[in-house]
């Protein structure tokens, strides 16, 4: 990858796609890609680890900040946009994309 991001080997994701763990300094993210129809694909960028309530109560934090998620999402968007066969992107924080989702990544709300 680029911009300081390093991707590990890919792994099977729920028997429906592939996942990659990516890191950039202390930030650790998971990048998932999976087919969700005949011509539609899901791409997910999220912290590799997110503590639950108990973990947060003891001061644990996600393995990556929203800024890191946004940074990797922008990189993924740029790489995919260079390929003419990929189009119609829909980006959304914390949920599946909808028809009113953004066409490119935006910073966390």
Q: Which residues contact 7 (CB under 8 A, 6 or more apart)?
A: 1, 20, 21, 22, 31
String of b and e for 42-52 (b: at least 16 CB within 10 Å)? ebebbbbeeee
Question: Rounded to two decimals, what is the model's pTM?
Answer: 0.87
Closest to 46 measured CA to CA, from 63, 26, 34: 63
pLDDT score, position 14: 86
Q: Tens digit of pLDDT per residue, the chain (109 long)?
A: 578 999 999 999 888 899 999 999 999 999 998 888 777 888 899 999 999 999 999 999 999 999 999 999 999 999 989 988 888 888 999 888 888 899 999 999 8
pLDDT score, position 88: 84
- The domain spans of the chain are 6-81
């Amino acid at each position: 990858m680029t911009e300081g991001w390093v991707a590990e080997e890919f792994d099977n994701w729920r028997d429906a796609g592939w996942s990659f763990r990516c890191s950039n300094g202390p930030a650790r993210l998971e990048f998932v890609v999976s087919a969700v129809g005949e011509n539609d694909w899901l791409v997910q960028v999220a912290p590799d680890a997110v503590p639950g309530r108990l973990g947060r109560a003891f001061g644990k934090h996600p393995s990556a900040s929203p800024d890191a998620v946004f940074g990797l999402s922008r990189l993924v968007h740029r790489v995919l946009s260079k390929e003419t066969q990929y189009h119609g992107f829909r980006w959304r924080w914390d949920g599946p994309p909808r028809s009113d989702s953004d066409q490119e990544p935006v910073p966390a709300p």
